[in-house]
Structure 1
């Protein structure tokens, strides 16, 4: 059967009809496009449910695009000259750039609801599938960002679960190295087990008098002003990543997201396909460090 397609622009966040699989045209969805609106609703629900689970996307600098390939120059740093004497010309310096070539890949979730399941179910089968789809889109994205983070510079850390070790010594050492390279360190990303060791360490507990424990996956790190913590189970449970989002250490190519609805009358089911194009890329290895061995 005909497959109504809609796609969501990552640039302007609007929904459009797609006349052909390879053509992304600015044809706005109209009230008369009933099948398109249904696909939009499913897509909106999935993205809305998935958004809070995109934890690791927040440590990346987003590069939004509606094409699947692009060449982007990322400005890195400019070196100034200190204490220039009067009547002395300062040395010339120029901005440095890192070129990133994007060739976005796609993550796909295929939701199928059979006629029998729809007619026999006592629950909202489609709603349950939508929730599962959102969770899996987030799982795939976080996993792929984790694979990029694995290319960070390894630095040996200490076991934060050992009460004799001070986690701040490891973290401040990484921050000093990153900021010595000219980038402001602003995040730590780790598995929940690593954060449990960190927050229960006596050196950390001493800085938390009157401070509320983290209530979510994104939180200010106690004792480290300006540093935001990110907790996600996709990360290895023995390491912690200290890095600079502002640098950026990692960029995230965010492409369009597409949804299509179809029915297979012969087999007796309705289906929705959701495709999300993306690509995380580690671009500045000097702006991130991987502390190893922080959880036994």
Structure 2
């Protein structure tokens, strides 16, 4: 079983994917490297990254869920949004990682190859923080909704925005750490101020790594429909969670919206306003 696969996005950006199909991004500057997210902790991600680069390494976690922070214990310098510091204690626990890996296609993955829990403190990833790697600069931009600390990463020189789980073709907006649809809408509208700084959007899940930047406008439209009660309200199942709805109907073969629109939201019917 291959622990990881990789794909070059640009000369400086490499997408690394683990056995659950979650994507991480290794960014290579002339002076330093940065790893954005650490997957589920399935496999020796540290060894995989070190086989690619020996540059001094900074790890940036976009949020505290187990499929993004699960491998954080393997690294020394790890940044995490302050708002997700408590969340990560639950989500990066060994039990949660094993449960998620099994649910997401890694049922046969050896438990002894899943990294343990982090015992070192996280560094604070604040909104607007920049990381100069030499020739490429990363800027952390908060877009709370999926979690309270959910952060996008702007690749400034390449004009690429890693939105990851913050805004994607099926944004999850339903667990207790998520904001309401109304709060998320307000943050999406505020995120428009960065529109002039990027041309493409990177994702953290799915077969397609890129999507159109207009997905922000699509998500705003979907939020307004949910709030007005005019969305499709498709029942949605994820593990054992109840009361979930997908706002827009999709083609089960392509997983794309039937109306060909951009963006979709899976929400909790009790967390709209």
- For the aligned pair, the TM-score class normalised by the smaller chain equals under 0.3
Which structure's CA Rg is the greater one? 1
With normalisation by structure 2, the TM-score equals 0.23
With normalisation by structure 1, the TM-score equals 0.21
Q: Which has the higher contact order (CA 8 A, sep 6+)?
A: 1
